[in-house]
Structure 1
Amino acid sequence: MDVVTFGETMVLFTPETTGFMRYAHAYSRKFGGSETNFAIGLARLGHSAGWISRVGDDELGKAMLSFIRGEGVDVSRVRLDAQAPTGIYFKEIRNASDVNVYYYRKGSAASLMTKDDLDETYLMQAKYLFVSGITPALSDSCREMVWEAIRLAKKHRLTVVFDPNLRKKLWPEEQARETLLAIAAEADIVLPGISEGKFLFGERDPIVLGQRFLDHGAKTVVLKLGEQGAHYFTREENAHVPGFPVERVIDPVGAGDGFAAGLVSGLLDGLPLADAVKRANAVGAIVTMVNGDVEGLPEREDLKRFMETPIEEVIR
């Protein structure tokens, strides 16, 4: 197993029309969650990934498991919970630059996860553990699960990758700041965006932010800069890696998860950090061009073709 991750994935309903959701009458049903977006992204690129979670023992939960399993992600450690439902959310696309997400996840099966849902034998087979900042926001027991997962990862020498994935609506800001900073201090690789850096450290300057995360304890920081690409930082070096041009952004949701998958894929392939970040930028860009969280995640040949296409052809 290359990577193990854990957290909540929900059923996604998207109106088939743009504009205010109040006027929508027809919806498409999909599935989305930071951790499974990431895991599916890795599977599409030829890596092995496992996901730990709980879903409701209901039709939506069973459909979700079938879908994620079909995308090549191992779901053998996902539990069906007969006492709680599968979470759902709605994505309202008013226009390409105005996308709203509405969550209905309180009391969901995944929010009831505990550290007992972790399987140490399963974790120790992996090289990387991917942690999202959404999971500790779900409940006290999920927060305990995060810390236990990190403890087990360190015990078995897994590389811990942390995406802060700030969701202010899920928990009090002070608790969010304290918890995310504490996890960032324990992670080997941290993947913040500028807005998350501003929330955590009160800074927006990329160079300052990168150094702040390093001083806080991270070994490697890859700061996501949207269409401008990313800036990576280690104790020895830091550099900006330009992004890939996109003719038209269709749906930006899920781009960060694709970015994380591209980065870890590059590292698993033994690429230098700069090249792994370049791959991350490419995957993130591709995802924005397709509606849906996972629908745009590329397979390896698609990624290679996109990265080798001259810029003038991409933006034509």
Structure 2
Amino acid sequence: MDIVCFGELMIDMVADEAGPLDGIQSFSRFAGGAAANVAIQIRRLGGNPVFIGKLGRDGFGQYLAAYMEQNGVDVHAVVFDQERRTSVAYVTLDRGGVPSYLFYRRGGACVNLRPDELDLQAVRQAGIFYFSTLALTEEPLRTTLYRAIHVTKQAGALAALDLNYRASAWPNEAGARREIQDVLGDVDILKVNREELVFITDCADVPAACEGLFRGNAALQLLILTDGAAGSAAFIRGQESLHFSAGKGIVVDTTGAGDSYMGAFLYALARDGLCLDRETVRRAGDLAARAAAHTVSRRGAIPAMPDARMLEL
């Protein structure tokens, strides 16, 4: 069963040492972007991801497309832009391995995917359509996203959103909150961290915030909350929550941990027939927690993501 990963594929320039950006002397290049990271994690576990997005026809774009292919991801729906450049994110880490981002993507190729360039057949054939809110920041990508969601819902597939809020990618906070709240009405599966949950609900009480999201969004069936060292939880509409341990391994770099978690979770759902019953969600959450724990133990998002052998599948 195909899983479409829609949105950003970009260059991550990751600082070679911890500390603020103004003191960094060198960076290492990695392929990155939430949708790309999720796609590669799905593939490494044995799933069938299809990446949909847009790259500049430049050296970075050619590198990224080749990298995805080398990692087994279907990139037939990738579009190349002759005029706009491939996007870049500069990533710095604090002493605890927590990343901060500076994006160079406004007006770039990745936000210029037009509705007429969308591979509708790829969307129709997928069991899950995944995206993050970075796909909402600019036009025409935003309109293209809504077109894809409409096709997804018509086909009876699941729409999965990782909130993945990055303040520096948005013109302003109020606009970000408005766009995010608008798209939630079409989402079946939502993943947030604790800060994002507060951001979109203005409520610090987790059970109350989750209940508010279910009450206000009829399509929402499953809410996943990740909370760093405290682990994660899955809230299924009308049922008791499930909790998953984060493990006790060494944390080197948390970049891509949420993407690894989401990729493993979606892979497990697709493997088990897309049922959102309690046992299926429990298996998915267990696998996702183990994948994320492995990812944070090494530097770099994609290089650290585990394969099926590492997780003993």
Alignment partner, residue 271 of structure 2: 269
Tell me if the contact between 2:40 and 2:68 (Cα under 8 Å) persists in the aligned partners: yes
Tell me if the contact between 2:6 and 2:52 (Cα under 8 Å) persists in the aligned partners: yes
* More displaced stretch, 15-24 vs 55-64: 15-24
Q: Note the residue ranges of structure 2 that are not aligned, 5 or more in a row.
A: 273-278
Instruction: Output the CA distance in 1 between the equivalents of 2:264 and 2:244.
Output: 15
* More displaced stretch, 163-172 vs 20-29: 20-29
Tell me if the contact between 1:53 and 1:117 (Cα under 8 Å) persists in the aligned partners: no
Alignment partner, residue 242 of structure 2: 240
Tell me if the contact between 2:244 and 2:285 (Cα under 8 Å) persists in the aligned partners: no
Task: Report how many aligned residue pairs link the two structures.
Answer: 304
* More displaced stretch, 166-175 vs 295-304: 166-175
Tell me if the contact between 1:86 and 1:109 (Cα under 8 Å) persists in the aligned partners: yes
Instruction: Output the CA distance in 2 between the equivalents of 1:225 and 1:18.
Output: 22
Alignment of 1:292-303 (within 5 A): 292-303=300-311
Q: Note the residue ranges of structure 1 that are not aligned, 5 or more in a row.
A: 306-316
Correspondent of 2:290 among 282, 294, 298: 282
TM (norm. structure 1) is 0.91
Instruction: Output the CA distance in 2 between the equivalents of 1:140 and 1:25.
Output: 34
* More displaced stretch, 28-37 vs 220-229: 220-229
Instruction: Output the CA distance in 1 between the equivalents of 2:281 and 2:136.
Output: 28
Partner of 2:31, secondary structure, is strand
Alignment partner, residue 230 of structure 1: 232
Instruction: Output the CA distance in 1 between the equivalents of 2:103 and 2:302.
Output: 18
Alignment of 1:1-316 (within 5 A): 1-137=1-137, 139-169=138-168, 170-217=170-217, 218-270=220-272, 272-304=280-312
| RMSD over aligned Cα atoms | 1.7
Tell me if the contact between 1:52 and 1:75 (Cα under 8 Å) persists in the aligned partners: yes
1:95-117 deviation line (CA, Å, top 9, x unaligned): 22453222111221112112222
Instruction: Output the CA distance in 1 between the equivalents of 2:18 and 2:139.
Output: 37
1:121-144 deviation line (CA, Å, top 9, x unaligned): 12111110001111111x121111
In the TM superposition, residue 20 of structure 1 has moved relative to its aligned partner by 4.0
In the TM superposition, residue 225 of structure 1 has moved relative to its aligned partner by 2.0
Higher relative contact order (CA 8 A, sep 6+): 2
Instruction: Output the CA distance in 1 between the equivalents of 2:192 and 2:156.
Output: 23
Alignment partner, residue 276 of structure 2: none
* More displaced stretch, 269-278 vs 69-78: 269-278
Partner AA of 1:67 in structure 2: Y
Tell me if the contact between 1:211 and 1:233 (Cα under 8 Å) persists in the aligned partners: no
Partner of 1:12, secondary structure, is strand
Instruction: Output the CA distance in 2 between the equivalents of 1:142 and 1:246.
Output: 39
Tell me if the contact between 1:243 and 1:281 (Cα under 8 Å) persists in the aligned partners: yes
* More displaced stretch, 232-241 vs 31-40: 232-241
Instruction: Output the CA distance in 1 between the equivalents of 2:284 and 2:254.
Output: 21
Given the superposition, is the C-alpha separation of residues 22 and 223 from structure 1 closer, same or farther in structure 2, using an over 3 Å criterion? closer
Partner AA of 2:259 in structure 1: D
Instruction: Output the CA distance in 1 between the equivalents of 2:192 and 2:113.
Output: 25
Tell me if the contact between 1:7 and 1:52 (Cα under 8 Å) persists in the aligned partners: yes
Tell me if the contact between 2:235 and 2:242 (Cα under 8 Å) persists in the aligned partners: no
Instruction: Output the CA distance in 2 between the equivalents of 1:206 and 1:301.
Output: 35
Given the superposition, is the C-alpha separation of residues 300 and 86 from structure 1 closer, same or farther in structure 2, using an over 3 Å criterion? same
Tell me if the contact between 2:228 and 2:246 (Cα under 8 Å) persists in the aligned partners: no
Given the superposition, is the C-alpha separation of residues 23 and 194 from structure 1 closer, same or farther in structure 2, using an over 3 Å criterion? closer
Partner AA of 2:141 in structure 1: C
In the TM superposition, residue 290 of structure 1 has moved relative to its aligned partner by 1.3
In the TM superposition, residue 84 of structure 1 has moved relative to its aligned partner by 0.6
Partner AA of 2:157 in structure 1: L
Partner of 1:300, secondary structure, is coil
* More displaced stretch, 215-224 vs 46-55: 215-224
